[in-house]
Amino acid sequence: MDTKPNFTAIKEKQQATWASGDYAKIGTLLQIVGETICEAVDLRAGESVLDVAAGNGNASLAAARRFASVTSTDYVDALLECGRNRAAAEGYEITFANSDAEALTFADESFDVALSTFGVMFAPDQQSAAREMARVVRKGGRIGLACWTPAGFIGQLFRIIGNYAPPPTGLLSPALWGTEERLCELFPGMQIETSLKNFTFRFRSPEHWVDVFQKWYGPTHKLFASLDADGQRELRGDILQLLNGLNRGGDTLVVDGEYLEAVIRKS
């Protein structure tokens, strides 16, 4: 029996998921990761940069602040509009384009650097997305990635979500991008340097975190909306249990979210 996932149907569902809630409310919290990945790839002024699955433009803005020539892409128009508004507010000239990470609409070797922070990892066809990122980067260029790890907080959250909404048969976990082993499979023959990092979630309380993510973060927003009252209470309880177990903030919430920072060099 053919167990290959229907990537087209999955992406259509993903688009609706990421367009729900308001990811920009969450995305802006992660801005420091965009700044860090630009430093990791040693970005130089004047270099051409493609931000893949850019969301509301964290890495795009970080690259523009370093005087790079930036193209910011996503396949959700609402997120591109958020990035466009942020760039206008800060006075940066960034090109925005609707482009699927699995079929980028750019010529081979068009960019010095390709970036993605917690974005391309969600592409259902992982091989195609990696191949496309490698294709559009020139020889000698770099790919900079920030991806949640399977063992970290968000990786554990993915497993909770999967208990309530199991992924399609054959679909690989996005958290695999947060392992060096998987990156070596996705980018064969390239020089890969990785480092484990933490993004620290700081909220008023575990309950506050759940309230914010239920309202604004597409995957949890959609999942809560799909459950009845009992299911919502159970899901909330499971997430609170995870948060309380990881919290090092005492009366507030301070939880470290482990991610893998990777710099991949195309020879």
Is 74 within a domain? yes
Q: Which two tokens stand for residue 220?
A: 């949890």
- 142 DSSP β-pair partners: 113, 265
DSSP 8-state class, residue 131 = H
Burial of 71 from C-beta contacts in 10 A (0-12 / 13-18 / 19+): buried
pLDDT at 24 (0 to 100): 85
pLDDT at res. 22: 85
Q: Which pLDDT value is given to residue 69? A: 98
The CATH number given to whatever domain includes residue 94 is: 3.40.50.150
Q: Is residue 251 part of a domain?
A: no
Q: What's the rounded Cα separation, in Å, for the pair 267 and 261?
A: 20
Q: Examine residue 212 and state whether it is found in any structural domain, yes or no.
A: no
What is the total count of domains within the chain? 1
Q: How far apart are CA 250 and CA 229, in angstroms?
A: 30
Report the pLDDT value the prediction gives residue 2, as an integer from 0 to 100: 52
Would 124 be classed as within a structural domain? yes
Domain holding 138, by residue range, is 7-200+257-265
Residue 226 included in any domain: no
**Cβ 145 vs Cβ 116: under 8 Å:** yes
Main-chain phi, psi angles of 87, to 5 degrees: -65, -40
pLDDT value at residue 10:
84
Neighbours of 12 (CB within 10 A): 11
Q: Is residue 68 part of a domain?
A: yes
Look at residue 252 and tell me if it is in a domain. Answer: no
Residues 6+ apart with CB under 8 A from 195: 40, 260, 261, 262
Q: Is residue 65 part of a domain?
A: yes
Two tokens, residue 69:
């020539």
Residues pairing with 258 in the sheet: 198
- Return the pLDDT at 12: 84
Stretches where the chain sits below pLDDT 70 are 1-3
State the Cα–Cα distance between residues 124 and 10, nearest whole angstrom.
Answer: 7
